[in-house]
Chains A and B, each alone.
Chain A
Amino acid sequence: MPRKPKKHSHSLRHRLVTFSPFARSKAMATRNRGATKVIEKPKLQNKDLATSSFNGFKNNGKDKTQQSGSSASSDDEEFEGDVQADFVFFDPKPSDFHGVKVLLQTYLDNLQWDLSGFVDLILGQPTVGTVVKIENDEDDAVYSVVSALNLGRYKDSKCVLELKDYLLKVCRDMDVKGKLKSLVGEHVQDVGLLVSQRVVNLPPQLLPPLYNGLFDEVEWATEDEPTEELQSSFRFKFYLIISKIYKHKSADQNGGTVKNGEETLIYNRPEDEIFFMLSSWSFSFPSHAQQVTANELKNYRPMGLVMVVEASKISSFRKQLHSLIDE
């Protein structure tokens, strides 16, 4: 599907990728309606989640109904217009296997690795991690998954070993390589792999509650997990993030600057920009997976980006993400 650089549209119209028959029928039935609601189901009985406030969480409800009249006509030339969708957050469970696997297909570029094992690790951790679905969806499709995996806890599993080898292999930056080696070597118990994948057009309003939920769960896990070992496994000092960006083709030659006022780097996901600014170190590597390139991206090369963010910076990340999405 053609990809466009994200524009911050103030009307916040968000079209769902309608790849399931249910979503398509919803789109047909609800043209011209614009509100998307976020409902957070109570995930931990003993924690006080403000579910009532989320029930009323309509995205700029008033603004949207005023604007939807005018935006409806401009939407007609696009294929489906606005879609009414109620997103629900769930704990990962084994039946989500296929949906999560599809989202993680290109996680390590085009490497053949034990992806199924990796998905099993995520699904085997219901206390930390979230899966986003649509309410009453007969297809039960997964629209997004986030999780934090302690690399030390799973260091003996095949998928984590392959992941470490891959990262060490693609890291071409010699000064960073040493840091990476020590991170996945002696400090592996303190590292949380932050996995976050979603469908392309997932409304960004979901991101703050999604990430807040994840980091809250990590905190609760340090107290709630049954054994001391598990509790300490969630006391991350570092988060390791693997994501994708687009780098301008002439960026390297001109010493990091680009003419025409074009951006040097384009981030696929808005939170990656914040993570990058807060990161202790990072490296990028050329990506080989087949991608459909939109016309606007023809001057850009797809790259993978690996970043490490200290856990202490997370509260700053949460604030910045909130202000970024709410603007």
Chain B
Amino acid sequence: MATRLQYENNCEIGVFSKLTNAYCLVAIGGSENFYSTFEAELADVIPVVKTSIAGTRIIGRMCAGNKKGLLLPHNTTDQELQHLRNSLPDSVVVQRIEERLSALGNCISCNDHVALTHPDLDKETEELIADVLGVEVFRQTVAGNILVGSYCTFSNIGGLVHPHTSIEDLDELSTLLQVPLVAGTVNRGSDVIAAGLTVNDWTAFCGSDTTATELSVIESVFKLREAKPSALVDEMRKSLIDTYV
């Protein structure tokens, strides 16, 4: 089920939160309402951790992660790093990386199996991503935008990309990612998908300006209406056919 919410009158909730199948990060400083909406949905299944990154609240755009790991930019403080290591499950590898492009959330978009990255990312970073997150890495652009982390969001089930993505690009990305993709918008026509939406395999959160049409597209491509926690979905994946379009 998709939930609509706001962070201090701001509908860009993908900026202030990061949701994966194993944990959820939420920015400090917002009202308790923001935090408790996540808690209400996720408390029994995965930990919801309040944090800042590099002293900022824009944590969703600063870090990149999936159920296997979390990558943090070089300007993350030691206390923040320690706090995250303590709060996240042991199965999650928390790693701070030395990368010039420090807004990792804008540069990397990933699920538990594949990652799309900014074309200018360092080679070492690419290897670290493959290592820490346990994914196959592809350097890509989305609708001509190099900030792939901002303009597309995908889970293990489906994905939403920038509205101006061409059909050929959509096919190509879908083949790379092995999930069905749809070009659409969030937050009443905003094309910065990842800023307005954060999603995992069984639930999604989007800004409260998102229209009913956008919400139904999200619920259908991410298959949220009949959703279950990811352990079951993982089992199903092995028996699925090779290519989705």
Q: Which residues of A contact B (CB under 8 A)?
A: 97-98, 105, 110-113, 115-116
How close is B190's CB to chain A, nearest CB, in angstroms? Answer: 7
Contact B209 A105 (CB under 8 A): no
Please, which residues of chain A bring their CB within 8 A of the CB of B10?
105
Binary interface profile of B, 176-218, with partner A (CB < 8 Å = 1, else 0)?
0000000000001110000000000000000011000000000
Minimal Cβ-Cβ distance residue in B for A116: B209
13 contacts between A and B (CB under 8 A): A97-B188, A98-B190, A105-B9, A110-B9, A112-B6, A112-B8, A112-B9, A112-B31, A112-B33, A115-B9, A116-B11, A116-B188, A116-B209
Beyond A98-B190, A105-B10, A116-B209, list 13 extra A-B contacts (CB 8 Å).
A97-B189, A98-B188, A98-B189, A110-B8, A110-B9, A112-B6, A112-B9, A112-B31, A112-B33, A113-B9, A115-B9, A116-B188, A116-B208
Distance in Å: Cβ of B15 to nearest Cβ of chain A: 14
State the CA gap A98–B209 with chains docked (Å): 10
Least CB separation from A108: chain B residue: B9
Within 8 A of A (CB), among B132-181: none
Interface size on B, as a range, is 10 to 19
Mask for B8-51, Cβ within 8 A of A = 1, else 0? 11110000000000000000000101000000000000000000
State the main secondary structure of chain A at its contact with B: loop
- Nearest chain B CB to A63's CB is how many angstroms away? 42
A-chain residues with CB within 8 Å of residue B9 when the two chains form the complex: 105, 110-113, 115
Contacts of A105 in B (CB 8 A): 9-10
A262 CB → nearest B CB, Å: 32
* Residue ID in chain A nearest B187 by CB atoms: A98
Residue ranges of B at the interface with A (Cβ–Cβ < 8 Å): 6, 8-11, 31, 33, 188-190, 208-209
Within the assembled complex, what's the spacing in Å between the Cα atoms of A116 and B6? 11
Closest to A112 in B: B9
In the assembly, what is the distance between CA of A111 and CA of B188, in Å?
A: 22
Q: For the complex, what is the distance from the CA of A105 to the CA of B209, rounded to whole Å?
A: 14
Q: How far is the CA of A105 from the CA of B9 in the complex (A)?
A: 7
Minimum CB–CB distance for A195 against chain B, Å:
16
How far is the CB of A23 from the nearest CB of chain B, in Å? 19
The distance in angstroms between the C-alpha atoms of A292 and B91, with both chains bound, is 41
User: How far apart are A158's CB and chain B's nearest CB, in angstroms?
Assistant: 13
CA distance A105 to B6 in the complex (A): 13
A289: nearest chain-B partner, CB-CB: B8
- Of the listed residues B6, B208, B209, the one surrounded by the most CB atoms of chain A closer than 10 A to its CB is B209
Query: In whole Å, how far is A138's beta carbon from the nearest beta carbon of chain B?
Result: 14
In the complex, what distance in Å separates the CA atom of A318 from the CA atom of B31?
Answer: 41
**How far is A116 from B9 in the complex, measured between Cα atoms in Å?**
9
Task: Tell me the bound Cα distance from A115 to B208 in angstroms.
Answer: 11
Shortest CB distance A95–B (Å): 8
Q: Which residues of B contact A112 (CB under 8 A)?
A: 6, 8-9, 31, 33
A272 CB → nearest B CB, Å: 23
Q: CA A97 – CA B11 in complex, angstroms?
A: 13
Instruction: Report the minimal beta-carbon distance from A106 to chain B, rounded to whole angstroms.
Output: 9
A115 to B207, CA, bound (A): 13
Taking the closest CB of chain B, its distance from the CB of A103, in whole angstroms, is 13
Residues of B close to A113: CB separation below 8 A: 9
B233 to A: closest C-beta gap in Å: 34
CB distance from A242 to the nearest CB of B (A): 15
CA distance A105 to B10 in the complex (A): 8
Chain A neighbourhood of B209, CB < 8 A: 116
Q: A97: which B residues are within 8 A, CB to CB?
A: 188-189
Q: Which of A111, A112, A113, A115 has the most CB of B within 10 A?
A: A112
Distance A77 CA – B8 CA, assembled complex (angstroms): 37
Minimum C-beta distance from A163 to chain B (A): 13
A106, closest chain B residue (CB): B9
Name the distance in Å between A252's Cβ and chain B's nearest Cβ: 29
Closest-CB distance, A321 to chain B (whole angstroms): 30
A135 to chain B, nearest CB (A): 23
A110 to B8, CA, bound (A): 7
Residues of B within 8 A of A111 (CB): 9
Report the separation of the CA atoms of residues A188 and B33 in the bound assembly, to the nearest whole angstrom: 32
Query: In whole angstroms, what is the CA distance A253 to B208 when docked?
Result: 44
Instruction: Give the residues in chain B near A115, CB-CB below 8 Å.
Output: 9
- Measured CB to CB, the nearest residue on chain A to B209 is A116
Chain A CB count within 10 A is highest, among B8, B9, B10, B188, for B9
